[in-house]
Amino acid sequence: MEFMQQQFEQLFGVEWGAMLFTLATNMTFIFTIIVPLLLGVAYLTFAERKIIAYMQIRVGPNRVTFFGIPWLRGWGQPIADAVKALMKEIVIPTGANKFLFILAPILTIMPALAAWAVVPFSAEMVLADINAGLLYILAMTSMGIYGVIIAGWASNSKYAFLGAMRSAAQVVSYELAMGFALVCVLMMSQSLNLGDIVNGQQGGSMLHWYLIPLFPMFLVYFISGVAETNRAPFDVAEGESEIVAGFHVDYSGMAFTVFFLAEYANMILVATLTALMFLGGWLPPLDIAPLNMIPGFIWLLLKIAFLLFFFLWFRATFPRYRYDQIMRLGWKVFIPITLVWIVVLGLVMQLPQTVREGFPLNLWF
């Protein structure tokens, strides 16, 4: 690193060299996040089709090979899908506002990717170690809704407009439940920095993860995450049987694919945040010899994969909620539960420090 920095300073002068060096290192880091993320998104669609297929006792995509290797049958499917989407015409309907119509997918994917800037992948692997990390993520996930509303309005189609309204109302409602659940996590961790939140869950075993004292908040957060990404069983915004595909009904080709990418990137983001805040992030479940030899990064990936499996499982299992049921669940069930839990947790926090440290499972026993 030092050597590289000196090279830069020799080439461009001391001041410019240092600036260009930070730019280059940051860009490298950003690409090592974005490229695996986009590959992960592509293969999440493949995993979704495969896993739901096996749950329905069929095989799923198993024809498209990779470099003709016979035992990778099916693994070329996401790549083939991407190439196909690239070759499809982008239809811009008459009456649509062209500029906003094209801007909307970009506005959706930009925050979905940018939220990853503050996600720590292990104790040292974090791009921007800012103190307002969680607040930043909350802001970015709220930004995504602009793309949806603009897309629904710009298409000049009634289905798209209705889908956008539904989607916006649903996302903001569940955002509240999510925010209140986060307040409970913050009361435990006393920090907004995601790295500090994971470090606060250290203590030798999974009994110290926030999952255990905050179990109802874990459920509220994860289910709100499913609703916030408009995934089944909360996918009324795109309910095929009533408003065909919701806000992106008039999108085609690559413009549609960008919305699709953003949705799956958001799914991975919600799973990652749940793993970081409730499942101990990169910490092993037991701090003993064979388990803590495995790098923390691997543990985090395993937890994310485990939570993503739930997203797919929900989709294969539950029938779709009705819209009024969704809004009732958000406003009349989740928000009261979280409010009560904040008060209870605040009362427990008033106990002396020594009493609280004696009981890591403070709220249950």
Partner 1 sequence: MLENYFPILLFLVVGFLVGAGCMIGGWLMAPNRPDKEKLSPYECGFEAFEDARMKFDVRYYLVAILFILFDLEIAFLFPWAIVLDEIGLFGFVAMMIFLGILIVGFIYEWVRGALEWD
Q: Which is nearer to partner 1, 174 or 282 (CB)?
A: 174
Distance CA 301, CA 239 (A): 31
Q: Which is nearer to partner 1, 191 or 362 (CB)?
A: 191
Q: Which is nearer to partner 1, 14 or 91 (CB)?
A: 91
β-strand partners of 66: 69
Q: What crossing angle do the helices spanning 158-189 and 335-349 adopt, rounded to 10°?
A: 10
Do residues 111 and 124 touch, judged by C-beta distance below 8 A?
Answer: no
Question: CB of 31: closest distance to partner 1 in angstroms?
Answer: 8
Question: CB of 252: closest distance to partner 1 in angstroms?
Answer: 9
Question: CB of 221: closest distance to partner 1 in angstroms?
Answer: 13
Question: CB of 226: closest distance to partner 1 in angstroms?
Answer: 19
Q: Which is nearer to partner 1, 81 or 303 (CB)?
A: 81
Q: Residue 190 CB: number of other CB atoms within 10 A?
A: 10
Tokens at 308, concatenated: 């993503």
Residues with Cβ < 8 Å from 25, sequence gap 6 or more? 1
Q: Which is nearer to partner 1, 167 or 299 (CB)?
A: 167
Distance CA 73, CA 60 (A): 11
Q: Which is nearer to partner 1, 117 or 270 (CB)?
A: 117
Question: CB of 55: closest distance to partner 1 in angstroms?
Answer: 31
Do residues 130 and 183 touch, judged by C-beta distance below 8 A?
Answer: no
Distance CA 139, CA 135 (A): 6
Tokens at 299, concatenated: 């543990």
Question: CB of 53: closest distance to partner 1 in angstroms?
Answer: 27
Q: What is the CA radius of gyration of the chain?
A: 22
Handedness of CA 338, 343, 347, 349 (dihedral sign): positive
